[in-house]
Amino acid sequence: MAPFQLQSLLGYWGMMAVYFALGLGFGIALELSGFGKSTKLAAQFYFKELTVLKVMFTAIITAMVLIFLAASLGLLDYSKLYVNPTYLWPGIVGGLIMGAGFIIGGFCPGTSLVGMATFKLDGLFFVLGGLFGIFMFGETVSLFDGYWHSSFFGRVTLFDFFGIPAGAVVVGVVLMAVGMFWGGEQLERIFGGRDLKREPKWRYGAAAGLLLLALVTAFTGQPTLEKKWQIAGPEKQPLLDQRAIYIEPAEMLSLMHDDTRGLVIWDVRPERDYNLFHLKTAQRMEESTLRNITATGIDPTANQVIVITGNDEAAATHAWKLVTMQEIPNVYILGGGLNRWLATFDPAGAASVTRQEEPGDRLDHAFSAALGARHPAAFPDEKLLRSLGEFTPKVKVTKVVKRQGGCG
């Protein structure tokens, strides 16, 4: 499933050539739309000409519809697309600052480059001002770094936030855009004296076609994680077959005592078992949460090591499949589960229980009370590593480079 890894397909210079062509095409599109003129851009703030709203919103909703339509047809894995992480209040303040600069200067960063490229003096001065602003920000960001990284929500989208299907959001945004286009034309007629009778009639057909595609997207629906596993799972199945992601208790103990690895432990057992015993710092994760990792606030760029624990391995392996289908890196499973963990670090204190013939993995140890992480085996002494002997390390942290978005 797309997106494709351009560098592996075309090589480094081939990838750069594609990026150059896309940037050149985007710049040409902006110039043909008249976005190299600051007066045209500033006119939107006086409701005289809303070309910026129409062009940019059309590009946004067209891309949105095609992305989610391709995802619904199994041609694209949306989880592999980069979505800017949300820092709510810094984003709001930054948007207000940029908007004020847009009104005063008549350009945004992308359009100022178009203006400069077409030898417009105001475009040149705007670019120079932008570069000076970038320099000043870089020199002073340490003074407000805490605020700059505050109110972090991770990769959150409208359908994540409202808990509704992605197709419904796509239809809603298209309808909102059509309403804004109609309202924008009325403002142009009132404040700009625009004669709407002279506007091309095909725009109605284009809007209807886009709405139809949005409805198809909503009707088809987005592929489930199980469907994604059927498509992409065969590439990851060897990791399970070769037990490359099942880590030994000894390696787990070493991770728990290693402050540099950013260990995160997800416990996928029933609440009763979790309350009886769980590892120190372990978070109990419901399957509904595992199916929507963005709701946990986990940032894949944090380069953390995530270890999933169950009583045995069945539930943890199922959870691993759900998580990896959402492109969360560095995810492992505690081999043998907490049954093996307790047999290793508390062989005498946990009495064996006769397993019942019931589906699913069960806790093989009995406890006199719900001890949770207060049990000694929840965080064994690091010195026990010496008695466990050598182990083959399985954890290999994949460094995730934090990508940045931008503005046209």
Q: How does residue 328 score in pLDDT terms, banded at 50, 70 and 90?
A: confident
- Asked if residue 71 has pLDDT above 60, the reply is yes
pLDDT of residue 379: 95
* pLDDT at residue number 173: 95
Tokens 């004020």 -> residue: 100
Residue with tokens 């120190």: 280
pLDDT at 33: 87
CA neighbours closer than 13 Å in the CB half-sphere of residue 62: 9
Angle in degrees, CA 172, 227, 230, rounded to 5? 155
387 has a pLDDT exceeding 60: yes
pLDDT for 228 equals: 85
pLDDT of 321 > 90? The answer is yes
pLDDT recorded at residue 296:
67
Domain 226-352+361-388, CATH number (from 3.90.550.10, 3.40.50.2300, 3.40.250.10, 3.40.50.300): 3.40.250.10
More confident residue, 377 or 300: 377
Give the pLDDT confidence score for residue 2 in this predicted structure.
66
* Contact partners, residue 154, CB within 8 Å, separation at least 6: 85, 86, 294, 296, 297, 298, 299
Q: What is the pLDDT of residues 132-146, one digit of tens each?
A: 999 999 999 999 999
- List the structure tokens of 129: 């001002």
Q: What is the pLDDT of residue 128?
A: 95
Poorest-confidence range of 208-217, 255-264, 278-287, 341-350?
A: 341-350
In this structure, the number of other CB atoms found within 10 A of the CB of residue 32 comes to 10
Decide if pLDDT at 341 tops 80. yes
Q: Is the pTM of this model over 0.85?
A: no
- pLDDT attached to residue 355: 47
pLDDT of residue 356: 47
Residue 401 has pLDDT above 70, yes or no: no
| pLDDT score of 295 | 62
Percent of the chain predicted with pLDDT > 70: 92
pLDDT tens track for 34-50 = 899 999 998 988 999 99
Q: If you average pLDDT over residues 62-79, what whole number do you get?
A: 90
Residue 62: the pLDDT is: 95
| Residue pLDDT, tens place only, 75-93 | 888 877 888 888 999 999 9
Residues 240-268: pLDDT tens digits? 999 999 999 999 999 999 988 789 999 99
Region 212-229: mean pLDDT is 91
Mean pLDDT of 193-212: 92
